[in-house]
Amino acid sequence: MTEAEFLSQVIDLARLCGFRVAHFRPGRTAVGGWRTAVQGNAKGFPDLVLVRPGQLLVAELKTERGKLSPEQREWLAAFEAAGVPAYCWTPASWAEIEQVFR
């Protein structure tokens, strides 16, 4: 399963469970690279921000072989330190995802 396929599945389930979901996609640059238009120290920002009444969480999604970058670890730790649950999920995490979304 690709990360894009996994992302679509997680977003679909989140929306079915009543979450508002934000995911910021990178755009193609004139020289063929990819960039997400953001300001500040946003490198490594989680893939998903999910919110519904009484619940806010963030999630970084990876393939089974994917690894968190140092910046991604820092963002997840910062959210946790602020009291926001922060997850790193792979397709093997599906049971946990379902439990969190219930």
Q: How many CB atoms lie within 10 A of CB 4?
A: 11
Beta bridge partners of 87: 59
Q: Domain extents for the chain?
A: 3-24+44-101
CATH 3.40.1350.10 fits 3-24+44-101, yes or no: yes
Long-range contacts of 76-84 (CB under 8 A, 24+ apart): 76/46, 79/46, 84/56, 84/57, 84/58
Q: The whole model's pTM is what?
A: 0.87
**Tens digit of pLDDT per residue, the chain (102 long)?**
888 999 999 999 999 999 999 998 766 777 777 666 666 788 899 999 999 999 999 999 999 999 999 999 999 999 999 999 999 999 999 999 999 999
In a 13 Å sphere around the CA of 27, the CA atoms on its Cβ side amount to 5
